[in-house]
Amino acid sequence: MANTKDNLNKYGKAFIGFDEPSSNAMDSISGYTGLLVNSPTRVTGWNDKGYAMSFNGSNQYVQFNNKLIDSNTFTISFK
């Protein structure tokens, strides 16, 4: 039975962990760099491990240097 890591390796196009303590967001599958726009806040990660990002819901976002998904149909998962 496949687990999340196996499925990500087989089907994943991008994996942005937001786990960097500072600087940009990095995609660990394709190596794309995500510029943090309008200074979203870095917070403690899930289960008090690593880091996460808190966005204000209006003008904060991540802008990547390349298109991450080449399809009109896709799924995004957040943890």
Counting Cβ atoms within 10 Å, is residue 66 exposed (0-12), middle (13-18) or buried (19+)?
Answer: exposed
DSSP-based three-state secondary structure for 35: strand
Q: What count of other Cβ atoms lies within 10 Å of the Cβ of residue 11?
A: 9
Convert the pLDDT of each residue in 18-65 to its tens digit. Answer: 777 777 888 888 788 888 999 998 888 888 888 888 999 999 998 887
pTM for this predicted structure? 0.68
pLDDT surpasses 80 at 66:
no
